Chains A and B, each alone.
Chain A
Amino acid sequence: MSDQHTEIDAHSGVETTGHTWDGIQELNNPLPRWWLIVWYISIAWAFIYIVLMPAIPALPGFGGTNTPGLLGQSDRTSVSEQVATMKAERGVASQRLMAASLTEIQNDLNLQQFAMAMGESAFGDNCATCHGSGGRGAKGYPMLADDVWLWSGTLEGIEQTVRHGIRHEGDDATRFSAMPAFGRDKLLMSSEIDDLVQHVLSFSGRDTDASAAAEGSTIFALQCATCHGANAKGDRNIGAPDLTDAEWIFGGEPADIAATIANARNAHMPAWQGRLDDPTIKALALYVHSLGGGE
Chain B
Amino acid sequence: MDHVANPPKAPNPPPAAPSLYERRKQIYPKLAHGKFRMVKWVVMALTLGVYYIVPWIRWPRGEGIPDQAVLADFAGEKFYFFFITIWPQEIFYLAGLLIVATFGLFLVTSLLGRVWCGYTCPQTVWTDLYIWVERAFEGDRAARMRLDKAPWSPNKAARKIGKHIVWLIIAFLTGGALILYWHDAPTIARTFFTGQAPLTAYFFAGMLTLTTYFLAGWMREQVCTYMCPWPRIQGALTDEYALNVTYRYDRGEPRGPLRKEQGFEGRGDCIDCKQCVQVCPMGIDIRDGAQLECIHCALCIDACDDIMTRVGRPTGLIAYDTDLAVATRAAGGNPVYKLLRTRTVLYAVLMVAISALILVGLAKEPTFEINVLKDRSPPFVQLANGDVRNGYTLKLVNKATTARDTMVSISGLPGAEFEIIGLSKPDGTQEMELPLEQYGVDRFRLLVTAPGASLPHRSSLDITVLDPMTGESHTSSAAFMTAGAK
Contacts and interface: CB of A to CB of B under 8 A. Distances in A.
A106 B422 contact: yes
B2 A23 contact: yes
Nearest to A145: B381
Interface in B415-447: 419, 421-423, 435, 442-443, 445, 447
Given A106-B422, A112-B422, A132 B384 contact: no
Interface string A135-156: 1110000010111100000000
A116 B14 CA distance: 78
Contacts of B419: 293
B391 to A, nearest CB: 7
Contacts, number: 77
B386 interface: yes
Contacts of B17: 12-14
Contacts of B391: 134, 145, 291
B399 to A, nearest CB: 19
Interface stretch (A206-214, A239-247, A258-266): A239-247
Nearest to A13: B14
A97 B36 CA distance: 69
Given A109-B422, A145-B391, A10 B14 contact: yes
B384 A146 contact: yes
Interface string B3-23: 000000111101111000000
Contacts of A202: none
Contact of A136 (B10, B377, B384, B389): B377
B166 interface: no
B1 A143 contact: no
Interface string B370-411: 000001111001111110010100000000000000000000
A147 B12 CA distance: 94
A66 interface: no
Contacts of A10: 9-12, 14
How many of chain B's residues touch chain A, expressed as a range? 20 to 34
A292 interface: yes
A135 B445 CA distance: 15
Given A13-B16, A134-B375, A292 B1 contact: no
Contact of A133 (B377, B442, B445): B377
Interface string B306-346: 00000000000000000000000000000000000000000
Interface in A227-255: 242, 245-247
Contact of A147 (B2, B375, B383, B435): B383
B157 to A, nearest CB: 27
Contacts of A143: 378, 381
A290 B384 contact: no
A147 B384 contact: yes
Contact of B378 (A12, A136, A242, A293): A136
A27 to B, nearest CB: 11
Contacts of B389: 145-147, 292
A8 interface: yes
Interface string A90-117: 0000000000000000110100110010
Contacts of B11: 10
B389 to A, nearest CB: 7
A107 B435 CA distance: 13
A245 B377 contact: no
B381 A146 contact: yes
A291 B378 CA distance: 10
A104 B389 CA distance: 26
A146 to B, nearest CB: 5
A293 B9 CA distance: 88
B376 to A, nearest CB: 8
A11 interface: yes
A146 B389 CA distance: 8
Contacts of B423: 109
Contacts of B435: 109
B333 to A, nearest CB: 52
A22 interface: yes
A90 to B, nearest CB: 19
B42 to A, nearest CB: 43
A96 to B, nearest CB: 16
A82 B382 CA distance: 42
Nearest to B15: A13
A288 to B, nearest CB: 11
A14 B14 CA distance: 9
A132 B442 CA distance: 26
B421 A293 contact: yes
Given A146-B384, A245-B384, A290 B421 contact: yes
Nearest to A149: B384
Nearest to B13: A13
A11 B377 contact: no
Nearest to B443: A113
Nearest to A14: B17
B439 to A, nearest CB: 15
Contacts of B376: 134
B384 A246 contact: yes
A242 B2 contact: no
A226 to B, nearest CB: 23
Interface in B347-382: 375-378, 381-382
A290 B422 contact: yes
B279 to A, nearest CB: 35
Contacts of A148: 383-384
Contacts of B384: 146-148, 242, 245-247
A285 to B, nearest CB: 13
A291 B11 CA distance: 86
A134 B382 CA distance: 14
Nearest to A137: B378
A145 B378 contact: yes
A22 B2 CA distance: 8
B288 to A, nearest CB: 32
Given A109-B435, A134-B377, A134-B391, A247 B382 contact: yes
Contact of B383 (A8, A12, A109, A146): A146
B9 to A, nearest CB: 4
B378 A290 contact: no
16 contacts: A10-B9, A10-B10, A14-B17, A23-B1, A134-B377, A137-B378, A145-B381, A145-B391, A146-B381, A146-B382, A147-B383, A147-B384, A147-B389, A245-B385, A290-B445, A293-B447
Interface of A: 8-14, 22-23, 106-107, 109, 112-113, 116, 132-137, 143, 145-148, 242, 245-247, 290-293
Given A13-B15, A292-B381, 12 more contacts: A9-B14, A10-B9, A11-B9, A13-B16, A23-B1, A112-B421, A136-B378, A143-B378, A146-B382, A146-B389, A291-B391, A293-B447
Interface of B: 1-2, 9-12, 14-17, 375-378, 381-386, 389, 391, 419, 421-423, 435, 442-443, 445, 447
**6 shortest A-B CB distances, which residue pairs?**
A136-B378, A13-B14, A134-B377, A245-B384, A290-B421, A133-B377
